[in-house]
Amino acid sequence: MASVKVLLYTSKVLKNGEHPIMLRLIKDRKIKYVSLDYSCSKELWDEDEQRPVKKHPHKVELNIKITKMMNDANKIILDFEAV
């Protein structure tokens, strides 16, 4: 069984003071992080929803990207489990 989660990677701080948005993939207790090539500050990130808050200037674009990457990752997981 594998799992996918979106998170704000607060362990790393970028030059602009924001944190990268990452996908965390867990399979057989091994963790892999994949960057979404976007960043966000802690103030503009909703930890509960794992999405940018409503006042984020690129909220729609980020939500589309996050949803697409989650769907792609879940499709790959389903393909692997079907074999």
What spatial distance separates the first Cα and last Cα of the chain, rounded to whole Å?
Answer: 13
| Residue-wise pLDDT tens digits, 12-23 | 999 999 999 999
Give 57's contacts (C-beta < 8 A, 6+ positions apart). none
Identify the DSSP state of 23. E
Whether residue 83 has pLDDT greater than 70: no
Helix (H, G, I), strand (E, B) or coil at 59: helix
Residue corresponding to tokens 């500050």: 41
pTM of the model: 0.83
* AA letter at 31: I
| Residue-wise pLDDT tens digits, 30-68 | 999 989 899 999 999 999 989 999 999 989 999 999 999
Judge whether 25 and 31 are in contact, CB under 8 Å.
Answer: yes
Q: Where are the domains of the chain?
A: 2-82
